[in-house]
Structure 1
Amino acid sequence: MLRWLGILVGVIVVLAVIAVVVVTQRLDGWVKDGIETYGPQYTGVAVTVDSVSLSLLSGRGAIRGLRVANPDGYDGDYAMQVGRIEIALRPLGVLDDPVIIDVIEIEGAEVHAQSRDLRDTNLQVILRNVRAATPPPAEDEEAAGPQLIIERFTLTDTEASVTAARLGAVAVRVPDIELTEVGRRSNGASIGQVLQQVLEPLIAVVLTSMAEGRVREQLEERGEELRGRAEEEADRLRERMRQISPF
């Protein structure tokens, strides 16, 4: 009897190992499909990923070639592009509820902000889409999808360009961004809530730079206007002096 029990336990262990191996092998594809499926539902634009590598046992992984397309009416293939995203969570942590992610590190992202008028940009359109697709917190708890806690999120060495009417394309400096305990207070946040908390400071920084660029542009235009008037007045004074002077 004990022999058969031992064999049964051995078979169960083998099947469990096989299941873990299969899940691990397919996990990368599932994550990639999830990003490309749920991303557009929240952002309202195409979201694509080149590849995903995530180890279920070690809890470490990377997302390569993440691109967020532009909304309709804006030029260019994408609004944001990230070459590589590093992720670390506890082993088998993707099975937890909520899923606790220790670290998400994004380095060298490219952001391209465009303004069609003085009030709207492609980044604001994307953020509005995320907000519209995210139910209020009370409803969000019952919404399908995993709840997330991100202990530490960093965005460093970001390159950004701003394109606006009369301003042209201008490179702007984006300060590094660090967020901690995202979703911790509510014991988990939905995908939409996490996207909002990550996108809002990034977009705020870029739009501030855009606004500063417009102010500089207006000051320069005003300066040119005043300089032109001063030169005209100087010419008039010189002409009067020539008429008055006996020399």
Structure 2
Amino acid sequence: MKKLLLIGAAAVVLVVGILVYVLLNVDSIVEMGVNEFGPKVTQTEVHLDNADIGLFSGSGALNGLRVGNPVNRGFKPRDLLAVGTISVQLDRDSLLSDTIIIHEIVIDAPAIVYETQGKMDNFEALLKNIQESTGGSKAEASGESEPAGEQPAESKPSKKLIIENVYVRNGQVTADITGLPGEGLSLDLPEIHIADIGKESGGTTPAKAAAKLVDGLYDGLQQAFKDSGDIVMQGGEWLMDQAGGATQGAQEEVEGAVDELKGLF
């Protein structure tokens, strides 16, 4: 009996020690998680400078997040997304449960690059990478079913997420698309609100949550293109409006500058 009590006490001490470690090192755990698992999920470069999670207040920030372009699908080696600070409000009690509840994520002033290669853009390519890394996209992309006996990587037990609100504000997008001369057209991104990720299912995996975020950003990009008046959808591709829009406007500006120079001389 005495031996059993000692074993039980040792087990309790071990569990408490693990919990204390998690509580005291949650910032480094988040940072390590993003930097270690981000590239595996997206198959691109992902880097987080640091995390600052206030465990007792339930608030925090992710600083210096960069997500690279899917160069494995032929896109230019540069950042698809770069953002200085992402603020987070979460349910602190849920950190030790199977499902982490995040009340709000605010992504402020992100710099986004939208690039096309033929009929595919870099956001679609990133989604394909995420789907493939989680065991779904190869079959989904080809319309085939999963081979018998093979389980997606996400079927393994892992922490789940419920994200109640995501806001993307004050964003800028650089459009590097077919028919656009130079380095690209810079546009203001409309405010994006994505709600209730994983709520209906009682929690979703981080990879599926990431796919929802990419979808939401993509919708915001399309709205920015529509609002610009310079970019049109043709044959399933976003193209410069060759009949007018930015290309025509740029030509008129050049002609005006030439006329001014003639006047000076």
User: Which TM-score applies when normalising by structure 1?
Assistant: 0.74
Query: Is the CA contact (8 Å cut-off) linking 2:98 and 2:158 kept in structure 1?
Result: no
Alignment of 1:204-215 (within 5 A): 204-207=219-222, 209=225, 211-212=231-232
Residue 185 (structure 2) pairs with residue 170 (structure 1): yes
Distance 1:139 1:19 in 2: 29
Whichever residue aligns with residue 158 of structure 1, its letter is G
1:162-214 Cα shifts (integer Å, max 9, x gaps) = 01243131112322111222101000001111111111121133246285285
Which sections of structure 1, spanning at least 5 residues, go unmatched? 1-8, 225-247
Whichever residue aligns with residue 232 of structure 2, its letter is E
Distance 1:98 1:19 in 2: 18
Distance 1:80 1:86 in 2: 16
Displacement after TM superposition at 1:75 (Å): 2.8
Displacement after TM superposition at 1:20 (Å): 5.5
Distance 1:77 1:162 in 2: 13
Distance 2:67 2:241 in 1: 29
The match for 1:86 is 87
Change in CA separation of 1:121 and 1:216 when aligned onto 2, cut-off 3 Å: closer
Query: Is the CA contact (8 Å cut-off) linking 1:172 and 1:206 kept in structure 2?
Result: no
Structure 1 SS opposite 2:244: helix
Which sections of structure 2, spanning at least 5 residues, go unmatched? 1-8, 137-150, 249-265
The match for 1:59 is 58
Change in CA separation of 1:29 and 1:215 when aligned onto 2, cut-off 3 Å: closer
Whichever residue aligns with residue 129 of structure 1, its letter is N
Distance 1:123 1:44 in 2: 13
Of all paired residues, the percent bearing the same amino acid is 24
Match of 1:218 among 242, 245, 248: 242
Residue 102 (structure 2) pairs with residue 101 (structure 1): yes
- What is the CA RMSD across the aligned residues, in angstroms? 2.9
Structure 2 SS opposite 1:200: helix
Residue 151 (structure 2) pairs with residue 131 (structure 1): no
Query: Is the CA contact (8 Å cut-off) linking 2:179 and 2:240 kept in structure 1?
Result: no
Q: After the TM superposition, which of the residue ranges 28-37 and 85-94 deviates more from structure 2?
A: 85-94
The match for 2:145 is none
Distance 2:52 2:20 in 1: 14
User: Which TM-score applies when normalising by structure 2?
Assistant: 0.69
Question: Is the radius of gyration larger for structure 1 or structure 2?
Answer: 1
Query: Is the CA contact (8 Å cut-off) linking 1:140 and 1:190 kept in structure 2?
Result: no
Change in CA separation of 1:139 and 1:185 when aligned onto 2, cut-off 3 Å: farther
The match for 1:243 is none
Query: Is the CA contact (8 Å cut-off) linking 1:42 and 1:129 kept in structure 2?
Result: yes
Distance 1:47 1:71 in 2: 11
Q: Larger helix proportion, structure 1 or 2? A: 1
Distance 1:116 1:141 in 2: 29
The match for 2:172 is 159
Which portions of structure 1, spanning 4 or more consecutive aligned residues, are displaced by more than 6 angstroms? none
Residue 199 (structure 2) pairs with residue 199 (structure 1): no
Query: Is the CA contact (8 Å cut-off) linking 1:56 and 1:92 kept in structure 2?
Result: no
Whichever residue aligns with residue 92 of structure 1, its letter is D
Distance 2:239 2:76 in 1: 24
1:65-95 Cα shifts (integer Å, max 9, x gaps) = 0000112233352110111011111223211
The match for 2:155 is 142
